[in-house]
Structure 1
Amino acid sequence: MNADTSPPLLALDPGVIIAAIALAAGLSVALLGWLISRAAASVPRQDRVWLDPPPLAYRIVWWPVHWLAHYLRAVLPERQLQASLVRLRLGGLDYALDPAQFLAGQLVWALLCGAFGAWLASAFAQPVHWPLLAGFASGFLLPPVWLRDRIEVRRRHTFKALPFMLDLITLCVESGLNLNSALAQAVAKGPASPLRDELARLMRDVRAGRPRSEALRDLADRLDMAPVSNFVSTLIQAEATGMSLGPILRAQAEQRRTERFAGAEKLAMQAPVKLLFPLLFFIFPCVFAILMFPIVMKFMAAGV
Structure 2
Amino acid sequence: MNALPLAPVLSLDPRWVVATLAFATGLSAALIGWLLSRAAASVPRQDRLWLDPPPPGYRIVWWPVQWLAHYLRTLLPERHARASLASLRLAGLDYALDPAQFLAGRLVWALLCAGLAAWLADTLALPMDGSVLGGLALGFAVPRIWLHDRIELRRRQTFKTLPFMLDLVTLCVESGLNLNSAIAQAVAKGPVGPLRDELARLMRDVRAGRARSEALRDMAARLDMASVSNFVSTLIQAEATGMSLGPILRAQAEQRRTERFARAEKLAMQAPVKLLFPLLLFIFPCVFAVLMFPIVVKFMAAGL
TM bucket (normalised to shorter chain) is over 0.9
Mapped partners of 2:7, 2:287: distance in 1: 91
Correspondence for 2:152:
152
TM-score, normalised to structure 2's length?
0.98
Mapped partners of 1:86, 1:59: distance in 2: 21
Correspondence for 2:110:
110
Secondary structure at the aligned position of 1:53 is classed as coil
Correspondence for 1:186:
186
Correspondence for 2:12:
12
Deviations 1:71-111 (A, max 9, x none): 11011111111110100000000111111111000000000
1:243 paired to 2:243:
yes
Correspondence for 1:283:
283
- Paired residues for 1:54-203 under 5 Å: 54-203=54-203
Deviations 1:242-299 (A, max 9, x none): 1111111111111100000000000000000000001111100000100110011011
Deviations 1:93-138 (A, max 9, x none): 0111111111000000000000000011111233311111101110
Tell me the matched-pair count.
Answer: 304
Report how far residue 2 of structure 1 moved: 4.2
Report how far residue 29 of structure 1 moved: 1.0
Mapped partners of 1:2, 1:182: distance in 2: 115
- Paired residues for 1:223-234 under 5 Å: 223-234=223-234
Secondary structure at the aligned position of 1:54 is classed as coil
Correspondence for 1:263:
263
Mapped partners of 1:123, 1:12: distance in 2: 39
Deviations 1:130-181 (A, max 9, x none): 1111011100001000000000000000000000000111111111111111
Mapped partners of 2:90, 2:61: distance in 1: 23
> What is the CA RMSD across the aligned residues, in angstroms?
1.0
For 2:179, give the aligned amino acid: L
Correspondence for 2:218:
218
TM-score, normalised to structure 1's length?
0.98
Report how far residue 237 of structure 1 moved: 0.4
For 1:97, give the aligned amino acid: L
For 2:268, give the aligned amino acid: A
Secondary structure at the aligned position of 2:94 is classed as coil
Deviations 1:25-51 (A, max 9, x none): 111111001000000011111111111
